[in-house]
Structure 1
Amino acid sequence: MLRTAAAAILGVTVLASASMAQDYRLNPIYQTISLRGGFTPDPYVINLQSGGNNDASRTLGGSCRGWVATAPDVRLHFQAGSLPLIISANSSTDTTLVVNGPDGRWYCNDDGGNGLNPSLRWNSPMSGQYDIWIGTYGSSRNANAQLHISELYSQ
């Protein structure tokens, strides 16, 4: 579902400082992908396990939520085009999203997508490296989840 710019930024926290618990310098747990504007298939979907041992509300603060791993789950190298970039998750459990963007800032969301799914949207995305963590809200237990990367849809 496409969202308006106002709805897209509602519930998003942007933090300028890096966190020691979430380390974007580590190799991702699942995979590194490279996409450029206009990619297909859209959405690009990755099956993974959400969760980890780090409480993002303590390590990043603001409105960041969920238990995440130390290493990113996925690393996205993105060459922006004219469309938005939407990173979201889909799970039967309550998940959260933490992204370290190409500008070095931390972007977080909880429940910005459909139901209890998180979603982040950049209307004018930056080209560069996006390190992505899918968290599990309220508990460090892992849960089945899907990461969706899209220029058209949010989960």
Structure 2
Amino acid sequence: MRNFRPGLYSGGAWFSALLAAIIATPVIAQTVPNFRTLKLAPGFSSTQGKTNGYTGGTFSLSAISNRDRDGKMCIGFADSNPDFIIELDKDFSRLQVLVNSGGKDTTLVIRGPNKTIRCGDDTGKSKDASIDDQQWPSGKYEVWVGAFEPGVKFNYTLSVKEK
């Protein structure tokens, strides 16, 4: 406040009002996905559950969690922001989330309501990641699609299927 000149600010009333407004304004943290949000309700179509993206970050997905709820390792590198948000309108008994990069070495981490973590890596003989799991309660799910190596860019299609 060394350079503060009271006469210049009309007694500082506007500054006090601005400061009070800033202090009184709540900070709302919202997660914004890198690509898009998928809003899904039971019976959603295959086109509603499909979207595209690309890998390329250097954030270690193990920083979200070392292991998921089933003890599977969470690995890979992505952007620190989730790539997608999946909003489930209702509970789903079973969903499958698949990455198709043409067989590149991708990984998958999903953080759901109550911070439930699901992780996926290779699918069968393919290096593409997937998660096939039960008990998906309604709510928001943050989805990271990673690459096994940091900074590697792969284009992919993400598909969510109701089982």
TM-score (normalised: structure 1): 0.73
Partners of 2:91 and 2:137 within 8 A in 1: no
Q: 1:74 to 1:96 in 2, by over 3 A?
A: same
Tell me the alpha carbon deviations over residues 58-84 of structure 1, each in whole angstroms, 9 at most, x when there is no partner.
553231111111111010110235651
8 A Cα contact 1:42 1:150, kept in partner: no
User: In the alignment, is the contact (CA less than 8 A) between 1:88 and 1:113 conserved in 2?
Assistant: no
Decide whether the 8 Å contact of 1:29 with 1:74 is kept in 2: yes
Distance (Å, rounded) in 2 between the aligned partners of 1:121 and 1:46: 18
Equivalent in the alignment of 1:94: 105
Higher relative contact order (CA 8 A, sep 6+): 1
Q: Distance in 1 between matches of 2:100 and 2:113?
A: 24
**2:52 paired residue number:** 47
Aligned partners of 1:42 and 1:149 also within 8 Å = no
SS of structure 2 residue aligned to 1:48 = strand
For these two proteins, the number of residue pairs brought into alignment is 129
Name stretches of at least 5 consecutive residues in structure 1 with no aligned partner: 1-23
Where 2:62 maps in the other structure, the secondary structure is helix
Match of 1:8 in 2: none
Alignment of 1:99-138 (within 5 A): 99-112=110-123, 115-138=126-149
| Map of 1:60 onto structure 2 | 65
Is 1:141 the counterpart of 2:141? The answer is no
- Report the AA paired with residue 56 of structure 1: L
Structure 2 CA distance for partners of 1:129 and 1:111, relative to 1, 3 Å: same
Residues 81 and 51 of structure 1, relative CA distance in 2, 3 Å threshold: same
CA RMSD of aligned residues (A): 2.2
Runs of 4+ in 1 over 6 A off after TM superposition: none
Q: Is the 8 A contact 1:82 1:124 kept in 2?
A: yes
Whose Rg is larger? 2
Does structure 1 retain, via aligned residues, the 8 Å contact 2:55–2:154?
yes
Residue identity matched to 2:75: R
Whole-angstrom distance in 2 between the partners of 1:25 and 1:108:
23
Distance 1:140 1:122, change over 3 A: same
Report which of the two has the higher share of helix.
2
Normalised by the size of structure 2, how large is the TM-score?
Answer: 0.70
